Structure 1
Amino acid sequence: MALQALYHDGEGYKPLVLTKEWQLAQLNTCESQYPENIKMLDQHDFTDETFTLVKGRAVLLTYDEKTKKGYLTVMQQGITYNVPQMVWHNIAMDQDTTVMITEGRDAHLKGFAQIPIPNEFYHSLQKKIETLWR
């Protein structure tokens, strides 16, 4: 048995473990995940996606397209948050933040869609961040 110690020290998203069915990735702070740069929401048709805050500060965004309601969840370190398949979502991150993501293999290559974040949801995110981080 060969034990592997895996870590991504660069910016952005990098898969660390790939199996036939799922992948574990590390997401480190990058410009596109800063709250003011969140422009899109993602949705996966065939997989749930989990987010675990390792260090730093992050807010998980989820959006119900039917009710037109957005939800902001302030992530707590060490807690795993499961976003079910077909739920619109994204994650806003502060500087020096690391999040581990588990999802179906190739989740961003098939059964994946994006929509622009609705304006009022974007503005509620900015207000929340102002009160939490600034």
Structure 2
Amino acid sequence: MEILNYSFDGEGMQRVFENEKWTVGIKNWKPANDITGINNLERHNKTDELFVLVAGSCTLIYANEVEGGLDIKAVKMEPNKVYNIPATLWHNTVTCKDTKMILIEDSNTSMDNSDILDLNEDQIAAIKALV
């Protein structure tokens, strides 16, 4: 038996470790997470998701459903802190090109138990104003 290590330097997210209970991924900048590319939010309906900022900058965008739309808010991540996205919370990440994050989630998280919400122009403008 020996200690293993994992890395990922490409664009986007790559699961680097997975067992029957949980998954660890490395999430780097990709065009869809740039402030110029943000156009949707996602939610995982059964499990929480954890993020840790390792390098660069990231703003976590999140939204609660309210009558007539979304209440959109933002949290600027600080390095080496764990951020918990509770199950069913709409969210996305806005990153810059040098960003690297660690992502931890239940290994059963998939698009089968997640949703994507396309944003309208007003919602995108609201996100840009927050970032």
Q: Given the two structures, how large is their TM-score scaled by the length of structure 2?
A: 0.91
Q: Is 1:126 the counterpart of 2:122 in the alignment?
A: no
Match of 2:63 in 1: 63
Tell me the number of residue pairs that the alignment of Structure 1 and Structure 2 aligns.
Answer: 129
Which aligned segments of 4 or more residues in structure 1 are displaced greater than 6 angstroms? none
The one-letter code of the counterpart of 2:85 is: V
Q: Which runs of 5+ in 2 are unaligned?
A: none
Residue pairs, 1:1-134, within 5 angstroms = 1-66=1-66, 68-129=70-131
For residues 58 and 85 of structure 2, the distance between their equivalents in structure 1, rounded to whole angstroms, comes to 15
Return 5+ residue gaps in structure 1 as ranges: 130-134
- CA apart distance, 1:124: 2.6
Measured on the aligned residues, the alpha-carbon RMSD in Å equals 1.4
Shift of 1:112: 0.9
Question: Aligned letter for 2:16?
Answer: L
64-73 or 24-33: bigger deviation: 64-73
Matched AA of 1:24: V
Identity over aligned residues, as a percent? 22
**CA offsets 1:46-97 (integer angstroms, 9 cap, x no match):** 1100111000011001100135211100010111110000100000001110
Amino acid in the other structure paired with 1:35? I
What is the identity, as a one-letter code, of the residue corresponding to 1:42?
E
